[in-house]
Amino acid sequence: MKAVAKSRRTALAAACLLWAAGASWMEGKVLLTQEEALRLAFPAGTKVERRTVFLTPVEQETVKKLSGAERLPSALATCYVGVRDGREVGTAYFDAHVVRTETETLMILVDPGGAIARIEVLAFAEPEEYLPRLRWYVQFSGRKLDDELAVARGIRPVSGATLTVRATTEAARRILALHQVIHAPAAKPQ
């Protein structure tokens, strides 16, 4: 009787482990940690400062309008500013969004001129075949928030990854709009 109970406990424990392993597999593949992505974004010797920004309702509307998004962005935004030799070298943002039914997490680095410096995929929970090749993301480098930052205009579509392409492009527009609002020059007193 004890051997049967022990066997059932062992089988239950094994089933729980298999379920847990399957659940983590189903949650998606983590390609980079946040720390690894920040190391790619900012060269050694760069001081990285985490900043939290609270957007006003007017700023949220401005981000929505500039990006062409359907929904208002969150009022809370976090970014990581890299400073080297006393000047900003870039600002990194992390954006998690749904592609089809699962989440993708990106780091989008914006250079001091307001253009995308790089995009890194941190996690992708959709099937791997929906993930464009890494070289596809390179085309975002140097892009600013304009009409060309759109699929089939300045951004090449990818057969079999249409939803990922669209979600990534929307994230790039959203981050550039957010960056523009956060870094807008303060109104000068007259």
- Average pLDDT score over residue span 167-184: 96
Residues 95-141 pLDDT 10s: 999 999 999 999 999 999 999 999 999 999 999 999 999 899 999 99
- Helix H, strand E, coil C: the string for 57-108 is HHHHHHHHHHHCCCCCCCCEEEEEEEEECCEEEEEEEEEEEECCCCEEEEEE
Q: CB–CB of 100/90 below 8 Å?
A: no
pLDDT at 7 over 50: no
Q: Which helix (H) or strand (E) holds 182?
A: helix 162-182
Cα(first)–Cα(last) distance of the chain, in Å? 89
Burial string for 81-100 (b: 16+ CB within 10 Å, else e) reads bbeeeeeebbbbbbbeeebe
Mean pLDDT computed over 10-28: 38
CB under 8 Å to 20, separation ≥6 — which residues?
none
d(CA 99, CA 33): 20
More confident residue, 190 or 100: 100
pLDDT in tens, 42-62: 989 999 999 999 999 999 999
Task: Band the pLDDT of 185: cuts 50, 70, 90.
Answer: low
Nearest to 68 by CA among 185, 150, 184: 150
Q: How far is 14 from 25, CA to CA, in rounded Å? A: 16
Q: What is the pLDDT of residue 184?
A: 77
pTM (two decimals) = 0.82
Rounded average pLDDT over 161-174: 97
pLDDT higher than threshold 50 for residue 73: yes
